[in-house]
Amino acid sequence: MEPVIPLASASFLKCGQCSLGKICLPVGLDRDDMNSLEEIVDTGRVFQEGETVYSAGQPFEYIFAVKSGMFKTVLNDSQGSEHIASFHLPGELFGLDAIYSSVHGSSAVALGTASLCAIRYKDLENLATKVPGLQQHLFSLMSKEVHNSFTKLHEHSVDQKLAAFLVALSARYKQRGYSETRFHLMMARRDIANHLNMAPETISRLFKRFQKDALIEVKRTDLNILDLEALKELSGCCGSCD
Amino acid sequence: MEPVIPLASASFLKCGQCSLGKICLPVGLDRDDMNSLEEIVDTGRVFQEGETVYSAGQPFEYIFAVKSGMFKTVLNDSQGSEHIASFHLPGELFGLDAIYSSVHGSSAVALGTASLCAIRYKDLENLATKVPGLQQHLFSLMSKEVHNSFTKLHEHSVDQKLAAFLVALSARYKQRGYSETRFHLMMARRDIANHLNMAPETISRLFKRFQKDALIEVKRTDLNILDLEALKELSGCCGSCD
DNA sequence: CGAACAATTGAACCGATTCAAGATGCGTGG
DNA sequence: CCACGCATCTTGAATCGGTTCAATTGTTCG
């Protein structure tokens, strides 16, 4: 008898919208699986601007898949200053950085109205032993995250950092089926600056220059990439800038 | 009948010397497992200064565990400049950043004479489905790597970066049973500089200042940490600076 | 409409790099 | 064992990129 593979059938997860979607589809599923899945995946919690999903220091129990809107994960250092580790787009998973520890090292906060699925990590882990494809997929996801972090650590000038940030966002939107050249930035300038370790003023000046050079068009939070290739070039794309 | 758990018994891996050691010990093992393990773990390849383990672009097949000496993984960007993504100490695993892709995105090079174990990734993956503890352990390892990268991206001043680098090295040596205050840096100043995105001259000046402030003693490649707490403070240790 | 906040712009400043020597260590061969 | 030569490391002075500070404009919302 085949093991039950509940994750495959969640209404959200099965349709390929999230990072688990790819793996969920091929495994084969039926109606009966639905119920067991509902126990693992808690669909549909909605957050308002600034609401926290979890805070640093809280016990780690769930990982999260973004359904709509955007979330950010924030690190606090010993001096009390905050740093935005990453932004999370619809379909992406977050919270994986806490697996190694029993508590969260970062906090997750909604940028504007946003919703997510919560997945009990222990259940996901168990499931991954039964569904090899899921295990592979999770390894792959984390591996990619490690690789991305490595390339970010190499970035040098502010031009390069901002270009790489925009290129990466573009690629992520594209992967989820959105336009790769037109999207909303969602986050404030200050947040972008914080994330990239720059002054907000610098972001402003760079956006202006990028516009002058006909690389992009930005109006408030709307971004239109005019020359993606040039941006990639600027970012010094480390071989695989997907 | 219990599944065979070969990884548990490799002479190197089983003794807790490497990142897999922790997980290998508890799973329970016997003599018969030894043989199957030998097929997965290719023990004992020795490299000389500058020799490459793998290069960017080569197909990904193995992950590696350092037995002795030190290795570095190097990224090449589109302009042909190199960046050292990380250094790998005895007992540590590397190559996990290539899992998501079919080819290596980085190269691995020996710093001085060094040796390693090669582990066929596909085999490790298979094994992980049979040994839940191994799967957990791998998730945990990668999770920690993600988290570490996040904290590194936050570092601001050169003081902070170098302090954090030394503190991290100290912690890693400690974890492997070496002294946490006295160790060889192995790598050249230029390599440290490259890794931290700084000029070699800056490293020199910082070492001098750290010595003046009685934080460390450095003579060539020998490091003696005099005030680890102060260094941690300087690094702005993000909560868990183990 | 006005208050509060976010983004932009300009000018002064500072940290880190760069460039150019000089010192130190290290292996080689006399 | 010392002298030579190369490579690495150190040190100082000039420069540059990005930040900081301060003031202005723009945007959102009660």
In tens digits, what is the pLDDT along chain A, a chain of 242 residues? 333 333 333 444 544 455 555 444 334 333 444 444 455 676 678 999 999 999 999 999 999 999 999 999 999 988 788 999 999 999 999 999 999 998 999 999 999 999 999 989 998 898 888 888 888 989 999 999 999 999 999 988 999 999 999 999 999 999 999 999 999 999 999 999 999 999 999 999 999 999 999 999 999 899 999 999 999 999 986 544 44
For position A45, what pLDDT does the model report?
A: 85
Burial A3-28, CB ≥16 within 10 A → b, else e: ebbbbbbbebbbeebbbbbebbeebe
Residue nearest to nucleotide C19 (CA to C1'): B201
Instruction: Count helices and strands (H / E) in chain A.
Output: 8, 9
- Give yes or no for CB of B203 within 7 Å of strand D: yes
At B55-68, the pLDDT tens digits run 999 999 999 999 99
Q: In the numeric block, which tokens belong to residue A90?
A: 């619809």
- Rounded to a whole number, what is the distance in Å from the CA of A183 to chain B's nearest CA? 25
Asked if A197 and B76 come within 8 Å (Cβ–Cβ), the reply is no
Cα–Cα nearest to A111, from A150, A45, A53, A29: A53
From the list B96, B145, B154, the residue facing A75 with the nearest CB is: B154
Q: In the numeric block, which tokens belong to residue B93?
A: 């695993």
> How many angstroms separate the Cα of A134 from the Cα of each of A21, A42, A221, B227?
10, 18, 36, 46
Residue recorded with tokens 């592979």: A136
Asked if B97 and A146 come within 8 Å (Cβ–Cβ), the reply is yes
For position A149, what pLDDT does the model report?
A: 92
Residues 127-186 of chain A within 7 A of strand D, judged by CB, are 157-159
- Rounded to a whole number, what is the distance in Å from the CA of A22 to chain B's nearest CA? 14
Question: Which chain B residues are within 8 Å of A84, Cβ to Cβ?
Answer: none
From the list A57, A79, A149, the residue facing B150 with the nearest CB is: A149
Asked if B132 and A125 come within 8 Å (Cβ–Cβ), the reply is yes
Asked if B97 and A152 come within 8 Å (Cβ–Cβ), the reply is no
Asked if A126 and B138 come within 8 Å (Cβ–Cβ), the reply is no
Provide the CA B203 to C1' D6 distance, Å, integer: 22
Helices (H), A80-131: 121-130
User: What confidence tier does B241 reach under pLDDT thresholds 50, 70, 90?
Assistant: very low
Task: Express the helix, strand and coil content of chain A in percent, nearest 5 each.
Answer: 45, 25, 30
- Rounded to a whole number, what is the distance in Å from the CA of B96 to chain A's nearest CA? 6
For position A38, what pLDDT does the model report?
A: 55
Cα–Cα nearest to B123, from B18, B12, B10, B11: B10
Average pLDDT for chain A: 84
For position B38, what pLDDT does the model report?
A: 55
For position B6, what pLDDT does the model report?
A: 36
From the list B139, B149, B239, the residue facing A149 with the nearest CB is: B149
Which of residues A63 and B44 earns the better pLDDT score? A63
- Give yes or no for CB of B232 within 7 Å of strand D: no
Question: Which chain B residues are within 8 Å of A129, Cβ to Cβ?
Answer: 128-129, 132, 135
At B178-232, the pLDDT tens digits run 999 999 999 999 999 999 999 999 999 999 999 999 999 999 899 999 999 999 9
From the list A125, A132, A150, the residue facing B75 with the nearest CB is: A150
Residue of A nearest to B127 (CA): A129
**In contact, B78 and B67? CB cutoff 8 Å:** no
User: What is the rounded CA–CA span in Å between residue A110 and residue B108?
Assistant: 39
- Give yes or no for CB of A201 within 7 Å of strand D: yes
User: What confidence tier does B40 reach under pLDDT thresholds 50, 70, 90?
Assistant: low
At B112-152, the pLDDT tens digits run 999 998 989 998 898 888 888 888 989 999 999 999 999 99
Residue recorded with tokens 């490595």: A150
Asked if B142 and A146 come within 8 Å (Cβ–Cβ), the reply is yes
Provide the CA B41 to C1' C27 distance, Å, integer: 38
For position A114, what pLDDT does the model report?
A: 94
Q: Nearest nt (C1') to A191 (CA)?
A: C6
For position B239, what pLDDT does the model report?
A: 42
Q: Which nucleotides of C are covered by protein (CB under 7 A)?
A: 6-11, 15-20, 25-26
For position B139, what pLDDT does the model report?
A: 93
For position A9, what pLDDT does the model report?
A: 36
For position B166, what pLDDT does the model report?
A: 97
Cα–Cα nearest to B119, from B35, B60, B73, B68: B60
Average pLDDT for chain B: 83
